[in-house]
Structure 1
Amino acid sequence: MPTIRRAEDRDLDAILAIHNHAIAHSRAIWTDEPVDRREREQWLADRHAAGHPVIVADVDGIVAGYATYAPWRVKSGYRYTVEDSIYLDDAFHGRGIGTLLLSELIRLARAAGMRVMLADIESGNSASIRLHERLGFTRAGFLRQIGTKFGERLDLVILELSLEDRSTRPS
């Protein structure tokens, strides 16, 4: 059973490898250039400084995946809306680790007072879409051909999850 815990500096090499593998081999991250360790060090420091969690799934000392959330937009009016990111090492797909990571991320966002979590997912990533829908996300939008990767035009599915208890939410 994986342990879900806060990411530490010692996890950066594994996070970097998972991230760069997703850049090189998937349509999950819409950029073509891998990042270096310095970029991931700054990314982790920035997330921690902003109070945005970065968590990992640790399976017997191996980082099987990581997840985080960050502001969806930078304008202050969006300060209670976050976007999640979840990436797994290919060797750990299909073991329920994504569910554990996303469930914990949702719990942390609620505890931090966030109101809405969004997921922007490439339309062909049916596993990620199903994961989010299993945890209560609903489809909020579909944007055609707004991204490009591997010379292909990509569509984006936007999913949303209310993090508030609707019975106590102000009208």
Structure 2
Amino acid sequence: MSGGTSRARRPKAITLVGLNERMEEFKALPAKLRQQIAGIINEQAKETRADLIQRITADGFSEASVKARIKIGRASSKKDEATISLDTKRVPFSRVKFTTATEDKTGTRASVFVQRGGKRVQVYGFVNPYGKKQKPLIRYEKAGKKVLVQSSGVGLKQWWDGIITEQYITQIQKSLEIRITQEIGL
């Protein structure tokens, strides 16, 4: 069994297709027209990425961190599809607005919360409410010893999956088709 993230746990990618999977028709077009279509597809992908970044950063994430994790595979005159995908690397807590709340009776641990769609969501980790630095920590066992380390951050997959629905993808694809017909007339 190879390492890595299983297919079910990977974030979905958005694929923008120019001529709705009619690759033969696309290849039969003149090169100049194929370049125009690829440009329109890339422009739509860029706008979609900007929309995704804006929606995720509204919940308190650093814009630079989110931009670094959302990638675009560009269309070209040889292929009429662009993909927008999410990197599974976590955003460090230093780049996320988070809050803490003491929830145990001893008062020695506080849960960590972030915003998601305007709602407060608990994330993995805890904070020492009396500590100076207030950095989220995690505790686990390794080789029979208890280990306490700083938390690696928050993954964007839940935010991504909340935005990327079938309805959102069809809306983007329809918008792309309208742009192609308006600008080129296909």
Q: Which has the larger radius of gyration?
A: 2
Pick the structure with more strand per residue: 1
- Fold match (TM-score > 0.5): no
TM category (shorter chain) comes to under 0.3
> Higher RCO, 1 or 2 (CA under 8 Å, sep at least 6)?
2
